[in-house]
A and B are shown apart, each in its own frame.
Chain A
Amino acid sequence: MAHGDQNQAHHGHHITPIATYAKILGLLVILTILTVAVARPVSGFDAGILNAGIAFLIASVKAAMVLAIFMGLKYDKKIHLAIFISAVFFLIVMFTFSVLDIYTRIHVESTL
């Protein structure tokens, strides 16, 4: 009997081996050490304005691994990924337009 989109097989839930989880944990720890290693206050490593970008990039790689494996988005229904992406997307929308305003304002000086 076809009804809606709940026609997944009964025992179709994906089971990830513990070993995979352990590997991911190892990678996450390595990336955490990397974040610390490239941070200016810790190692003096200085990439100028890129510093924040690098930190953000590494964090995003870590987040992607947590999402894909720990939270199972890799094997999951696509709608869960869609929900996550739409949340991030609208957050970016909010950020972009607020920043668009703040960085295109014309500064007015007092002339007194």
Chain B
Amino acid sequence: MATAQVVSEKNYLNESKGLWSWLTTLDHKRIGLLYMVAVLTFFLLGGLFAMLLRVELFAPGKTIMDASQYNQVMTLHGTIMVFMVIIPGIPAFLGNFILPLHIGAKDVAFPRINLLSWYCLITGASIAFFSLFKNGVDTGWTFYTPYSIQTSNGTTFVVLGAFVMGFSSILTGLNFIVTIHTLRAPGMSFWRLPLFVWALYSTAVIQVLATPILAITLLLIAAERLLGIGIFDPKLGGDPVLFEHFFWFYSHPAVYIMILPAMGVVSELITAFSHKTIFGYKAIAMSSIGIAAVSFFVWGHHLFVAGQSEVAGIVFSFITMLVGVPTAIKTFNWIATLYKGSIQFQSPMLFALGFLFLFTIGGVTGIILATIGVDVHFHDTYFVVAHFHYVMVGGTLMAIMGGIYYWFPKIFGRMYNEFWARVTFVLIFVGFNVTFYPQFVLGSMGMPRRYYDYLPEYTSLNRISSVGAWTIGTGFLIALFVIIHGLLKGKKAEMNPWGAKTLEWTTSSPPPHENFINEPIVTAGPYEYR
């Protein structure tokens, strides 16, 4: 689709050396890798906490920790995974690296702000972790008032940490929107953008328009704790349900910050490994925008039983159903892309197919939960836990893994070990279903979420779930070794090992400092497999 590039000896990795050159880099590719290191570290930490939770839940009663420790570990797991892993995961790591390459730009529009947003993430995370020295935090990642006003001092730090991390997210989104608008290569019209870019664009819109509300909400929680302002405190005339409105006005769109980029990655993977043009390009691109827009109207389904009015509940249930439509379009279009393709099953494709499988289950259970009459039973039970793990882990993390393997040769200029990568897929995929499918059943039986202890009749399913969790854990550990091994010992990668058509594959692996030696000139769409 574009003119072939001259291969250069120098690339962004060996262009300058030393830790300092990395910590002060303005190159979007290096910043992407900084994000990778940060996100993977946080992921290991959050994963470790998940393992501890599953050990505790292996048997009813006390297993390894007491209730207050359990609540702290649960809160840490949620906060780390949401604010430090899944939200920055795809956009700030893979997006940062790939977006300018995808549109034929030399860098993002504001390289300094790009670096600043990484430091915001690190600073925010440090502030949040400082809470561990202040009696920890046990509110859950949702900080519901008035509990979060009354509980331990650490809460203030986590809230302020999340506030700072919010700026990381805002600045990344802002940068991406401007980059996509102003830095496209000649000929790269909007309808020639790869679908990953469309997904990042929709995500960025949400990041810019929703995160400020989180910022002010978290500030108000901090003010509530420090000054007792009373806006969310019923004792002082405030309304805790209003806090839930404020919180979910951000946090529901945030769910799409987590999943939209994953959908973008999967669009890339499926078309590349089917060696076939994507089916219904415009429908997929527009459904990303549609999901982003509608996502702002549906937050009330988190409040179906929270004391929100019945009228509001019904309105929110209706609008929530509408989000299902663009999601269905995407799923069916991906399936249709497979039709009459020429499909290969390297590990990125396995993760993409795994995504389709798990995300579909996450999606249909989402519709079940959107149905207000049934949600009254399922709300705040393990059914919900299973549902959002199917979407967040089964969706987003599968896409991250697929994306890492897919772009590995481009990022590091080396190949990973295909056999062991497939092993990680099997372990993660099987382990995932063993962990979370039983949780649908537990939820149906009525086991509420965030329970330290449970009734004896839930024991066997919890055991199965714990064993599954350890299987996933093993899978991710092996994946880590596959990555490190590929990084150090992998064989040299070609410019375009998968035969894919998007722009990043027309430059050398790894790319030079300014991405392309000659500016690419785009003359056709992104997936012209003829």
Contacts and interface: CB of A to CB of B under 8 A. Distances in A.
B134 to A, nearest CB: 32
Interface stretch (A24-32, A61-69, A100-108): A100-108
B6 interface: no
A44 interface: no
12 contacts: A2-B186, A3-B185, A3-B186, A4-B189, A6-B182, A90-B210, A93-B296, A94-B245, A97-B297, A101-B245, A101-B300, A104-B310
Interface size class of A (residues with CB under 8 A): 20 to 34
Interface residues of B, number: 31
A106 B228 CA distance: 28
Given A4-B188, A97-B245, A87 B209 contact: yes
B181 A5 contact: yes
B103 to A, nearest CB: 9
Interface string A1-20: 11111100000000000000
B167 to A, nearest CB: 17
Given A3-B186, A102-B242, 17 more contacts: A2-B187, A3-B187, A4-B183, A4-B184, A79-B181, A86-B209, A90-B296, A97-B245, A97-B299, A97-B312, A97-B316, A100-B309, A101-B308, A101-B312, A104-B309, A105-B307, A106-B309
A79 B242 CA distance: 33
Interface string B459-494: 000000000000000000000000000000000000
Interface string A65-86: 0000000000000010000001
Nearest to A96: B297
Contacts of B308: 101, 105
A100 B297 CA distance: 12
A11 B184 CA distance: 22
Say whether chain A's binding surface is mostly helix, strand, loop, or mixed.
Answer: helix
B338 interface: no
A93 B250 CA distance: 12
Interface of B: 181-189, 209-210, 213, 239, 241-242, 245-246, 249, 296-297, 299-300, 303, 307-312, 315-316
B309 A101 contact: yes
Interface of A: 1-6, 79, 86-87, 90, 93-94, 97-98, 100-102, 104-106
Contacts of B246: 98
Contacts, number: 64
B186 A100 contact: no
Contacts of A79: 181
Given A87-B209, A90-B209, A4 B312 contact: no
Nearest to A108: B307
B180 to A, nearest CB: 9
Given A90-B296, A102-B242, A3 B184 contact: yes
B284 to A, nearest CB: 22
Contacts of A87: 209
Contact of B241 (A2, A93, A101): A101
A55 to B, nearest CB: 22
A2 to B, nearest CB: 7
Contacts of A102: 239, 242, 309
B289 to A, nearest CB: 12
A104 B311 contact: yes
Contacts of A90: 209-210, 296
Contacts of B241: 101
A106 B311 CA distance: 10
B142 to A, nearest CB: 17
Nearest to B186: A3
Nearest to B184: A4
Nearest to B313: A101
Nearest to B319: A97
Question: Which 3 pairs across A and B sit closest by C-beta, in order of nearness?
Answer: A101-B312, A104-B309, A104-B311
A101 B310 CA distance: 8
